[in-house]
Amino acid sequence: MDLNTVSALHRPRTRDEIGPWQAGDAWLAGGTVLFADPNPGLSRLIDLTALGWPALALTPDGLDIAATCTLAELEEPLLPPGARIAGLFPACCAALYGAFKVRTAATIGGNLCTALAAAPMAALIVALDARLTLWPAAGGSRQVAAADFILGLQRTVLAPGELLRSILVPACNMDLRWAFRRIALNDLGRSAALLIGTLAADGRFALTVTASTPRPLRLDFPALPDTAALLAALDAAIPADGWYDDVHGAPAWRRAMTQLFAQQIRSELAEGGPA
């Protein structure tokens, strides 16, 4: 939709050109959220794509994903040949309710910063234990772990004027074994529960829960727990009223699906044994 209160567009080519942050400013990435939501408080858009960040780069540290990388670009990530986690990327991209035409514009940064419960990119980066680089308004940069970035529904650690620059999937996690489960009221609808389990070569297991809770949740275990321990850990981490509630699914159902998927993921990863 037209954002009729926006009277200025800023297209910085370098970080220096960004200039001071003002009330009414918004970072513009793909625009699939900004242009879909009336917000009369907006007066200026700062176009992040003008900065020309390379979408994906494979470095000795891991896969470096620019915040402006689109979901379409992420569907075929630049990974070392045979990397086990390769299949997780298209699975998470396809979990966006938006069709392929939305995925060509939607960015991973916009998805994370919007911080909806059903943010599939949050599931991806939390499961892969990624590290985020932020650019504070005052200059310099700081890092946060993926699991700490989203604080709650549509709330992140970003301060005003701060932006998300990039996401690093560490090299040591390229060969995690993983299992993925997702459900929505309509097969192709908005996720009501999206869970990813990962199993590392040394036997460490992690369960990432998204969509059924307002913010992503990651449970770490030194080894694959038995079913009872896994369910107990879920219960301990998510209070009875901690399940997400909106038109895309009732909380009780989300809880039931989460528990079911947790068990299925555990079994699937148990079958292959530690990687």
Partner 1 sequence: MSTLILNGRTVAIAPRPGQCLRTLLRELGAFGVKRGCDVGDCGACTVLVDGTPVHSCITPAFRAEGRSVTTIEGLAEGDRLHPVQQAFLDAQGFQCGYCTAGAILTVSSLNQAQRQDLPAALKGNLCRCTGYRAIADAVAGTTHAERGLAGEACGHSHPAPAGPAIVTGQARYTLDVDVPGLTHLKLVRSPHPHACIRSIDTSAALAVPGVIAVLTHLDAPATLYSSGRHEIAADDVDDTRILDTVVRHVGQRVAAVVAETVAAAEAGCRAVAVDYELLPAVLDPEAARAPGAPLVHGDKGPESRIFDPARNVVAHLAGEVGDVAAGFAAADVIHEETVRTQRLQHAHLETHCAIGWRDADGRLVLRSSTQVPFLTRDALAGVLGLPRDQVRVFAGQVGGGFGGKQEMLVEDIVGLAVLKTGRPVQLELTRAEQFAATTSRHPMRVRVKLGATADGTLTAFEMEVLSDTGAYGNHAVGTLFHGCNESVQVYRCPNKKVTGEAVYTHTLPSGAFRGYGLSQTIFAIESAMDELARKLGLDPFALRRRNVIRPGDPMVAHSLHAHDIEYGSYGLDQCLDLVEQALSEPGEPPPDGPQWRVGRSGGWAGAWHWP
The yes or no reply on residue 87 touching partner 1 (CB under 8 A) is no
Q: Which of 6, 10, 24, 31 binds ligand FAD (CB under 6 A)?
A: 31
Q: Which of residues 162-221 bind ligand FAD (CB under 6 A)?
A: 163-164, 190
User: Vertex 161, ends 158 and 166: CA angle to 5°?
Assistant: 55
The yes or no reply on residue 107 touching ligand FAD (CB under 6 A) is yes
d(CA 221, CA 212): 21
d(CA 71, CA 121): 9
d(CA 140, CA 28): 21
Contact at 8 Å (CB) between 122 and 216? Answer: yes
Instruction: Tell me how many residues contact ligand FAD (CB under 6 A).
Output: 31
Pairing status of strand 205-210 against strand 193-199? antiparallel
Considering only 102-110, 124-132, 144-152, 161-169, which stretch makes contact with partner 1 by CB under 8 A? 102-110
Helical H runs in the chain? 15-18, 71-74, 88-94, 100-103, 108-114, 120-127, 146-149, 227-237, 251-272
Q: Which of residues 147-206 bind partner 1 (CB under 8 A)?
A: 187-188
Report CA-CA distances (Å) from 11 to 3, 105, 106, 155. Answer: 17, 17, 18, 26
Strands, E assignment, 141-265: 142-145, 150-152, 155-156, 163-170, 177-183, 193-199, 205-210, 217-221
Nearest distance from C-beta of residue 21 to partner 1, angstroms: 17
Q: By C-beta, is 109 or 197 nearer to ligand FAD?
A: 109
SS3 270: helix
Q: By C-beta, is 65 or 207 nearer to ligand FAD?
A: 65
The yes or no reply on residue 105 touching partner 1 (CB under 8 A) is yes
Q: By C-beta, is 28 or 134 nearer to partner 1?
A: 28
Nearest distance from C-beta of residue 9 to partner 1, angstroms: 4
3 touches, from ligand FAD, partner 1, none (C-beta below 5 to 8 Å by class): partner 1
- Torsion of the alpha carbons at 74, 77, 83 and 86, rounded to the nearest 10: 30
Report CA-CA distances (Å) from 226 to 66, 84, 104, 197, 231. Answer: 38, 24, 41, 14, 9
Nearest distance from C-beta of residue 157 to partner 1, angstroms: 26
Q: By C-beta, is 11 or 203 nearer to ligand FAD?
A: 11
Considering only 9-17, 84-92, 144-152, 158-166, which stretch makes contact with ligand FAD by CB under 6 A? 158-166
Q: By C-beta, is 7 or 267 nearer to partner 1?
A: 7
Whole-angstrom distance between the N-terminal and C-terminal Cα of the chain? 48
42 touches, from ligand FAD, partner 1, none (C-beta below 5 to 8 Å by class): partner 1
Nearest distance from C-beta of residue 109 to partner 1, angstroms: 16
Residues near ligand FAD (CB under 6 A): 26-34, 36, 48, 67, 96-98, 102, 105-107, 109-111, 113-114, 116, 118-119, 158, 163-164, 190
Residues near partner 1 (CB under 8 A): 1-9, 28, 31-32, 35-38, 40, 42, 44-45, 47, 94, 98-102, 104-105, 187-188
